[in-house]
Amino acid sequence: MDTEDKDSELASPGAMFPDSSMSPLIFEEGVAVNGAEAAGQVQVLPGQRPQKSPTPLRDSLRRLRRDKRAMISLAIIVLFVLIPLFGPLIYQHIGGTYQSALNGRIGPAQYHNPFWQELTNQDQLPSSMYWLGTDAIGRDILARLMQGMLVSLAVVIMVEIIDIGLGVLVGVLAGFFGGWIDQLLARFTDLMFAFPGLLFAILLTSIFGNSADDAFSHIPIIGPNGNARLVLVSIALAITIWPLMARYVRGQTLQLKEQQFVEAARTAGTTNVRIMWRHIIPNLFSVVVVAATLDMSATIIGEAGLSFLGLGVQAPGSSIGLMISDASDAIAVHPWEVIVPSVALAVIVLAFSFLGDGLRDAFDPRSKD
Amino acid sequence: MVQFLIKRFIGLIFVVIGVTFITFILGYFAPGDPIRGMLGNHFIPSVYLSLKHSYGLDLPWYQQYWHFLTNLARFNFGLSFVTQNRPVWDILKDGVPVSAELGLWALTISVLVGVPVGIVSALKANTWVDTVNIGAMLVLYALPAFVLAIFAQLVIVWFDTSTGNTWPVSGWGNPWQYTLSDLQLKIVPILVLAATEAALYARLARNSMLEVLRQDYVRTARAKGMRERTVIYRHAFRNAMIPLITIFGLSIGLLVTGAFFVEQIFNIPGIAQVSITSINARDYPVMQATVVLLAIAVVIGNLIADILYSVADPRIKVA
């Protein structure tokens, strides 16, 4: 079942070898029971939609629900959001008190704190006290991991706000009006494609990193615990990512503005601004969602990569990339400390890119890959 | 063709100017006075001014940029801020052959592995071979280079501890030499760097091949009673390869960013590692030179791709 599922998702436009042994579709309250085959059915007959499709959006969501890999990814992403937000609150109340040689009696609020160093408990393997063990200076790895996920989440949110905001604004204007905005966008995207994105982010964060530390470290929430550079990291990543979003939006806008409903709106005397706001932008939903999901995976990799190189989150703080970098020095002695953050990063990144692929297939079954 | 080349060349100049300008202006606005930093506690105004002059930092920004550009054209990347009076090129030059070696092998292997895997996947579409290939490609493509590199090191460590071998975890042998000990050091980083690329090529090769196999001329060739081998290798394969050329530039970009992590993790003395060392020492000229060199490598990769593309497919005149 699993293999069939993957086949039908991944097959290219109008796959060469349509599976003729497909069982008929069974619809029940808008949800197909026979997932994989149904997805294949839609793709084998491009242009032909199932008869009972209330709206294109619900149709797409139904296709998405049938995509097992995308749904598992979605579940992982939900966990990726919930764990760093609520995990620490719970984790810091689990566990008994402990007689520390250095710190007296301490409870889970201390030793399950991502910044607490319990120097007598270095490099421990998982136990009932430290669920994922401790690192080289006796900090709880699970607590650090949750803090690192929180950092990833914060960066993703900041980057996506800029990415979607700028990408949609410039993309729609370029697609709708053409002319110099379009030229400028084209030149700018050319430039950003030639300039490997991460290289630019490395340059920006390395030059202004210390200034960002000075400027933001006194601001509550975002400043302390070595997180001051995250704003800079987010801006750097957003600058490298948004041109691609703008390109997708521009392409879609070019198609949309030739559609009859835009023509009709124009005939009715609708202003350009209103056409863009009411008729173009709502129709960009699927393009933006797909691009944003894939960008999120790139953003998480970017933040982890910059932190890995020592350009993101600074010393007392925690980031998945920083955890990998700290632990990679002793990879031969304590491989466990590297395995935990690397596997976590791999799972999160794969979940985002699988969900992105799934969304793309669901919104536009004809343009697979 | 000539018109096309001229147009691409103008585009290339624009991109080079853009890249150098961004690199320059970021360094120009970099906080802190590097000359003051050099002098430390021995601050003598006359020495300060003369040093500032010798680094060209007393000029207005547009003159500094002009110097930056003209010096670049002469392969002169200026002087390092940290190791005083040492030209940047002197610092970088040992790293260039190492990085070039790493990158070229990774590129070669990724094409040699990725393309056949993609083609096989397309020919066996929707079988278990295809499913396995696609799964592997998706994972390799989505995983960042530094996670792959760490996993590779873990495998080496596990191999060493379980068999008592001493396969080295990091380092780089002599450039362009392949004795057994060199190979042991080089093979893993090259494979790690090649993995993402190979997945990219395989994905594209598969999709392109599937697309071509649906074309009428393939059906015609089959209808004529041609052998399947001939149909695939004569008619389908050649046409399927054309779109692959377009991602050549993109793949160079991936190589360059991947190299930053692979060189760092495997402790390879290439230019990316030199650049990271200079980042930590806040030695901006070295960083700027690295960024410009790597960006130009990407630009040239893109240009080669464009030219090859127009040669391979004469219908494409002006992109």
Average pLDDT over residues A123-144: 83
DSSP assignments along A98-115, one per residue: EEETTTEEE-HHHHTSTT
> Is B205 exposed, middle or buried (CB count within 10 Å of its CB: 0-12, 13-18, 19+)?
buried
Maximum CA pair distance of chain A? 81
The total of other beta-carbon atoms located within 10 Å of residue B194's CB is 27
Percent of chain A with pLDDT over 90: 8
> What's the rounded Cα separation, in Å, for the pair B118 and B19?
34
Question: Tens of pLDDT along A243-283?
Answer: 888 888 888 888 888 888 888 888 888 888 888 888 888 88
B256 in contact with A, Cβ within 8 Å: yes
Q: What is the rounded radius of gyration, in angstroms, for the C-alpha atoms of chain A? A: 24
Question: For residue A23, what pLDDT is reported?
Answer: 37
Do residues B206 and B118 make contact, with C-beta atoms less than 8 angstroms apart? yes
- Cβ separation A353–B138 shorter than 8 A: yes
Place of tokens 């393939």: B218
Nearest to A291 by CA among A349, A244, A251: A244
The total of other beta-carbon atoms located within 10 Å of residue B65's CB is 17
Q: How confident is the model at residue A161 (pLDDT cuts 50, 70, 90)?
A: very high
Beta carbons within 8 Å of A29's beta carbon, 6+ residues apart: none
Positive or negative, the CA dihedral B240, B241, B246, B247 is: positive
Percent of chain B with pLDDT over 90: 1
Where do the domains of chain B lie? 95-269
Place of tokens 């998405």: A64
pTM of the entire structure?
0.81
Residue A38 has pLDDT above 50, yes or no: no
B214: left (phi over 0), alpha (psi -120 to 50) or beta: alpha
Q: How confident is the model at residue A156 (pLDDT cuts 50, 70, 90)?
A: very high
Tokens of A87: 């995990």
- Cβ separation A353–B158 shorter than 8 A: no
Average pLDDT over residues A93-113: 78
Place of tokens 């997932």: A35
Average pLDDT over residues B170-189: 79
H or E element in which residue A28 lies = strand A27-28
Q: Which B-chain residues 165-224 have CB contacts (< 8 A) with chain A?
A: 169, 203, 206-207, 210-211, 213-214
Average pLDDT over residues A228-238: 87
Q: How confident is the model at residue B316 (pLDDT cuts 50, 70, 90)?
A: low
Residue B18 has pLDDT above 80, yes or no: yes
Beta carbons within 8 Å of A94's beta carbon, 6+ residues apart: A108, A112
Question: Tens of pLDDT along B296-313?
Answer: 888 888 788 878 777 777
User: How many Cα atoms within 13 Å fall on the side-chain side of residue B246?
Assistant: 9
Nearest to A357 by CA among A39, A79, A16: A39
Secondary structure letter of residue A22 according to DSSP: P
Maximum CA pair distance of chain B? 88
Q: Give the phi and the psi of residue A317 in degrees, each rounded to 5.
A: -75, 175
> What's the rounded Cα separation, in Å, for the pair A59 and A210?
50
Do residues B199 and B114 make contact, with C-beta atoms less than 8 angstroms apart? yes
Do residues A228 and A208 make contact, with C-beta atoms less than 8 angstroms apart? no
Q: How confident is the model at residue B23 (pLDDT cuts 50, 70, 90)?
A: confident
Residue A160 has pLDDT above 90, yes or no: yes
Average pLDDT over residues A196-209: 82
Q: Which B-chain residues 41-80 have CB contacts (< 8 A) with chain A?
A: none
Question: For residue A42, what pLDDT is reported?
Answer: 46
Q: How confident is the model at residue A34 (pLDDT cuts 50, 70, 90)?
A: very low
Q: How confident is the model at residue A354 (pLDDT cuts 50, 70, 90)?
A: confident
Tokens of B199: 């997945």
Q: Between vectors from CA A203 to CA A197 and to CA A209, what angle results, nearest 5°?
A: 120
Tokens of A290: 């797909």
Q: How confident is the model at residue A16 (pLDDT cuts 50, 70, 90)?
A: very low
Long-range contact set of residues A116-123: C-beta below 8 Å, sequence gap at least 24: A116/A140, A116/A143, A123/A330, A123/A333, A123/A334, A123/A337
Question: Tens of pLDDT along A321-340?
Answer: 998 888 888 877 888 888 88
* A51-55, A205-209, B89-93, B172-176: least confident range: A51-55
Residues of chain B contacting residue A297, judged by C-beta atoms under 8 Å apart: 142
Question: For residue A365, what pLDDT is reported?
Answer: 63
Question: For residue A36, what pLDDT is reported?
Answer: 43
Count interface pairs A-B at CB distance under 8 A.
167
Average pLDDT over residues A72-92: 89
Question: For residue A221, what pLDDT is reported?
Answer: 66
Mean of pLDDT over chain A = 78
Q: How confident is the model at residue A213 (pLDDT cuts 50, 70, 90)?
A: confident
Q: Between vectors from CA B93 to CA B91 and to CA B99, what angle results, nearest 5°?
A: 115
Residue A238 has pLDDT above 80, yes or no: yes
Question: Tens of pLDDT along B281-294?
Answer: 777 788 888 888 88
Q: Give the phi and the psi of residue A32 in degrees, each rounded to 5.
A: -75, 135
Question: Tens of pLDDT along B218-250?
Answer: 888 888 888 888 888 888 888 888 888 878 777
Question: For residue A74, what pLDDT is reported?
Answer: 92
Positive or negative, the CA dihedral A147, A149, A151, A154 is: negative
> Is B52 exposed, middle or buried (CB count within 10 Å of its CB: 0-12, 13-18, 19+)?
middle
B1 in contact with A, Cβ within 8 Å: no
Nearest to A308 by CA among B27, B188, B193, B149: B149
Beta carbons within 8 Å of A69's beta carbon, 6+ residues apart: A5, A6, A9, A354, A358
Nearest CA in chain B to A294: B142
* A78-87, A99-108, A282-291, B215-224: least confident range: A99-108
Three-state secondary structure of B123-187:
HCCCCHHHHHHHHHHHHHHHCCHHHHHHHHHHHHHHHHHHHCCCCCCCCCCCCCCCCHHHHHHHH
Give the minimum alpha-carbon distance from A271 to chain B in angstroms, rounded to a whole number.
34
> What's the rounded Cα separation, in Å, for the pair B262 and B266?
6
- Crossing angle (nearest 10°) for helices B284-312 and A179-194: 110
Give the minimum alpha-carbon distance from B131 to chain A in angstroms, rounded to a whole number.
6
Give the minimum alpha-carbon distance from B226 to chain A in angstroms, rounded to a whole number.
19
Positive or negative, the CA dihedral A175, A246, B293, B18 is: positive
- Cβ separation B295–A339 shorter than 8 A: no
Do residues A129 and A108 make contact, with C-beta atoms less than 8 angstroms apart? no
> What's the rounded Cα separation, in Å, for the pair B193 and B184?
15
Strand partners, A99: A105
H or E element in which residue A32 lies = strand A31-32
Residues of chain B contacting residue A197, judged by C-beta atoms under 8 Å apart: 257
Question: Tens of pLDDT along B25-70?
Answer: 888 887 777 777 777 777 788 888 887 787 777 788 888 888 888 8
Nearest to A247 by CA among A317, A323, A184, A320: A184
- Cβ separation B253–A12 shorter than 8 A: no
Place of tokens 């091949």: B209
Do residues B61 and B28 make contact, with C-beta atoms less than 8 angstroms apart? yes
Tokens of B143: 């995983």
- Give the domain B95-269 fold: MetI-like fold (1.10.3720)
Beta carbons within 8 Å of A350's beta carbon, 6+ residues apart: A73, B138, B139, B142, B143
Residues of chain B contacting residue A195, judged by C-beta atoms under 8 Å apart: 18-19, 22, 295, 298
Q: Which B-chain residues 124-153 have CB contacts (< 8 A) with chain A?
A: 125-126, 128, 130-131, 134-135, 138-139, 141-144, 146-147, 150-151, 153
B318 in contact with A, Cβ within 8 Å: no
Residue A29 has pLDDT above 60, yes or no: no
Place of tokens 């120097």: A119
